[in-house]
Structure 1
Amino acid sequence: MALSFDQLFGGRLRFNVVNGSTKSLQEYGLHVEHDERYELSAEYWSIVKRLTAGEVFDHRGRFYDLKNAGASFRELKPVQEPHVPLWFGGSSAPGIEMAAQHVDVFLTWGEPPHLLKEKLEQVRARAAAHGRTLRIGLRLHLIVRDTEDEAWAAADRLLDVTSEATYARQLGDRAGEDGVGWQRQFRQHGGRVPARARELETHPNLWPGMSLFRPGPGTAVVGSTAQVIERLKEYQELGVDTFILSGNPLLEEAHRVAETVLPALGLRR
């Protein structure tokens, strides 16, 4: 299926690997602890890489035992070489090690630059130990307005329209979470819902408050167009070469970013 999609769309397919959590995987009958989860994932994706490179092979590992894998679709040839690219994010030592050995783009959630710098140094060091170099991607939300005050007012509105039940569900459901990325994000706000969004500003224009009411990445850059671009360039200086950006609500904010941020960066809609 992956090779079919890659051919259909001219080599544009990417795999974004989400390793889950011990708690969430148990819902699907998979009972593996944190470190073992990365061992399983590393073996699985090493197989996928070979399959999407067009190989036919046998494999005997700890979790998978395959005979003549890839033979049934050997006629399908890869568009991208050597394989469909893997994007992946992990903040624990096993997660970073998996990235260092197997993925093409290390994708991380937004954090204050000094924290992200430390993590990226670890990632690069482990990749270098395996003779590899990884691209770096950053997942952020943007709240961009004509002025900084208007941007923070928009962040305030997101808090104001969120129900107490949503806050309780988002924060309560993640209690005991063993994902290190989530733990790092949680420490940015400590589970506290502020009266005003800017009370949680962790770095100029950086707000972790989105994770109070939504799962997954929860850091936003909040500010004027010039301030948002300044923050993106600050991350770029750390080695980030790919940004995955979004806003809330999705469609309206996509148009706003296309009309403000992209032209200032010399990009077309």
Structure 2
Amino acid sequence: MLDVYTTAPASVGLDGPAYRRRLADITAWTESAGGVGMLVYSDNTLIDPWLVAQLILDESERVAPLVAVQPVYVSPYAAARLAATLSFLHGREVHLNLVTGGSRQHLAALGDGVEHDERYERLLEYGTVIQQLLDSPRPVTFTGAYYQLSAASLPHRPPPSLSPRLVLSGSSDASERCAAALGILRFAYPRPAFDYAPSELAGAGIRLGLIARPTSAEAWQAAHDRFPGDPMGERRHRIVTRLTDSHWHAQLSAVADAGVYWLHPFKTYRTFCPYLVGDYDEVAAYLAAYQTCGVESLILDIPAAEDDLHHARLALHAADAAVTRASA
């Protein structure tokens, strides 16, 4: 059984009240569908993810915000304290998604010129400090190349039952090394499932969009209605591909569509992840193939409607049944 997160909507193009309504809807859909949590991603174009996390906690009883945190935006002490504070106020888990920042332009705007692999070296220290602050019953002293603490401690450190889950996002070798050193799950944007060897994704998570329907024709009609052709989007994608140093962006840009596996929304700059499109059995077979490769968690793209999660659940249940039959 996969742990399934959804994704919070972007704040771009909405005013405050409209955004809050949209977020409340997706939070309710996620809870109704049994989702573990909701990814709140962050870049220079979006509102603060911690305030979005507060709204998610207010609007739900079980949905855990998965808050994107990175060294340029907030210190490791501040990130740990914010997570501990939300857990204290709500008696709930808050999950943290460690990221380095994928846009060189956004990083440069904030005065950060650290190169790609070194950003993961810094993220390793960043995550280590957060882990120690959240886990240690004693004040933390840490001396590293990027961070130094002297007998620092958190007010209201969460109990083990509410200790935040840390994950990391990335597709490069540097991200793999960082996640392994921290001992945490790494989320990546996957290639087609059948490109992987068995167990190649052991302990990993993936981020995907799902458009599943009773028939393949219905699924593809829904997919093309939602993501029509967009020459301007294709141009923007090509520009971003030239400007970014993100490995996952370059990897996906070089991949071709493969049946159920569909990259048109990514290559028209409508979203950042691949999509699986097909009838329930087709999508389920693809999800089961990822699980066979070792995938444990899934972040679904922003749902357009509650019906999306209803259809996704049917495909996910069929995938679980297929994995169970195969293991038996």
Which residue does the alignment assign to 1:97? 177
Which residue does the alignment assign to 2:46? none
Which residue does the alignment assign to 2:190? 110
Does the 8 Å contact 2:219/2:279 carry over to 1? yes
Which residue does the alignment assign to 2:142? 59
Q: Give the TM-score normalised by structure 1.
A: 0.77
Does the 8 Å contact 1:247/1:253 carry over to 2? no
SS of 1:67's equivalent in the other structure is: strand
For residues 190-212 of structure 1, give each alpha carbon's deviation from its aligned partner in whole angstroms, at most 9, with x where no partner exists: xxxxxxxxxxx32x411122212
* Alpha-carbon distance in 2 for matches of 1:79, 1:227: 42
Which residue does the alignment assign to 2:264? 209
Q: Which amino acid aligns with 2:247?
A: V
Matched length:
238
For residues 142-164 of structure 1, give each alpha carbon's deviation from its aligned partner in whole angstroms, at most 9, with x where no partner exists: 0112211221222223342x543
Which residue does the alignment assign to 1:194? none
- C-alpha change, 1:114 and 1:256, in structure 2 (3 Å) is closer
Q: Which amino acid aligns with 1:6?
A: S
Q: Among 19, 29, 36, which residue is 2:100 paired with?
A: 19
> RMSD between aligned alpha carbons?
2.8
Q: Unmatched 5+ residue regions in structure 1?
A: 125-134, 190-200
Which residue does the alignment assign to 2:129? 47
Q: Does 1:188 align with 2:255?
A: yes
Q: Does 1:5 align with 2:86?
A: yes
Q: Among 213, 235, 244, which residue is 2:290 paired with?
A: 235
For residues 214-255 of structure 1, give each alpha carbon's deviation from its aligned partner in whole angstroms, at most 9, with x where no partner exists: 466321111001111111111111111222223552544224
Does the 8 Å contact 2:185/2:205 carry over to 1? yes
Q: Unmatched 5+ residue regions in structure 2?
A: 1-81, 322-328
* Alpha-carbon distance in 2 for matches of 1:151, 1:209: 14
Which residue does the alignment assign to 1:168? 235
- C-alpha change, 1:223 and 1:237, in structure 2 (3 Å) is same
- C-alpha change, 1:36 and 1:78, in structure 2 (3 Å) is same
* Alpha-carbon distance in 1 for matches of 2:169, 2:180: 11
* Alpha-carbon distance in 1 for matches of 2:273, 2:320: 27
SS of 1:241's equivalent in the other structure is: strand
Q: Among 142, 147, 159, which residue is 1:79 paired with?
A: 159
My pick for the range that moved more, 82-91 or 226-235, is: 82-91
Runs of 4+ that moved beyond 6 A: none
Q: Give the TM-score normalised by structure 2.
A: 0.64
For residues 123-142 of structure 1, give each alpha carbon's deviation from its aligned partner in whole angstroms, at most 9, with x where no partner exists: 76xxxxxxxxxx32121110
* Alpha-carbon distance in 2 for matches of 1:228, 1:115: 16
* Alpha-carbon distance in 1 for matches of 2:242, 2:305: 28
